[in-house]
Homo-oligomer: A and B are copies of this chain.
Amino acid sequence: MREITYSEALREAIRSAMAKDDKVIMIGEEIGQGYAGVFGVSKGLYDEFGPKRIIDTPIAENSIMGAAIGASLLGFKPIVEVMFADFIAVCFDGILNQAAKVRFMSNGQYSLNLVVRLPGGEGSGTGPHHSQCLESLFMAIPGLKIANPSNPYDAKGLMSSAIYANDPVLFFEHKKLYKTKGDVPQEDYAIPFGKAGIARAGKDITIVAHSYMVSVALAAADELYEKHNIDAEVIDPKTLVPLDMQTIAESVKKTSRLAVVEETYLRAGVGSEIGSIVSERYMDWLDCPIKKIASRNVPIPMPASLVGEVIPDKKRVVKEIREMF
């Protein structure tokens, strides 16, 4: 099959939706005439769809979010690019108090098709204001969906679903993934929300990882298998909200061991949520305590010497998982 990058896959989903449905628009800083997106996702779209569909804005995140919410109330399907996920803090009220609550507060009179693209994660020294993985925070806000593709195939399929999700979707992308390549069909397809994937089948331990950490978990799984005779199953939830606990549970039932690997922070992270659900519902299936392998509770530093200690890497994952046997 044809190989394309994660950026290209995202663009393909957006382009196709825009071509078919003139209610699909993009709003953000530097997405059109300037940079065509800092990570190049909207490359070429301005030329194709023009300034009415690819809408450049001033540096004013509140207005970007407001523009998207307002347009969505009138039936548009805006895709917002927040240049770096960290900047969502500037328009957080739009997320927490407006977008997430429209459906409930209007008693279903309005619901929003609204994708908020959030390039997150550390990318070779992007530092404390341009590296954060914030998805765990948003899991605690009812009314939002959260997608987090780990590869080009999922990026395209999840984006296609997100545009029509009928609820605001926080679409967490990852800097280290944009240039990675993978097989992606030319034709349109949608990946349903709430259905996890098995990135690697195995029988000895279940590792749940999302976004960029899927590749770290897979690399660790290879080493665990080759050097330490541990056959790990790697589950990629694809969407954190809704979360496919069934697939995770089935895997844990088989392996009797659970580790969660994430770039979000250890405290109140994704591992906390998944770990607690497993201990609530499936405790009897576990042969050993669960393990949360996450970023340490430190703002993300710039130099590699510190980043390597803060964010989980293959070495740490291998070490921590070996301790479970």
Q: Which A residues are closer than 8 A to B by beta carbons?
A: 86, 89-90, 92-93, 95-97, 100-101, 104-105, 128-129, 134, 136-137, 139-143, 241, 264-265, 267-269, 271-281, 283-284, 286, 288-292, 297-299, 301
Contacts and interface: CB of A to CB of B under 8 A. Distances in A.
Given A97-B86, A272-B272, A265 B128 contact: no
Q: How many copies, total?
A: 2
Contact of A142 (B141, B281, B297): B297
Contact of A140 (B265, B284, B286): B265
Given A89-B96, A142-B298, A279-B289, 7 more contacts: A89-B93, A89-B97, A97-B129, A137-B268, A140-B265, A272-B275, A279-B290
A119 to B, nearest CB: 16
A280 B276 contact: no
6 contacts: A92-B96, A272-B275, A273-B276, A276-B279, A280-B289, A280-B290
Nearest to A95: B89
Nearest to A282: B289
Given A89-B97, A279-B290, A290-B279, A140 B267 contact: yes
Nearest to A283: B289
Contact of A279 (B129, B142, B267, B283): B283
Contacts of A105: 128, 299
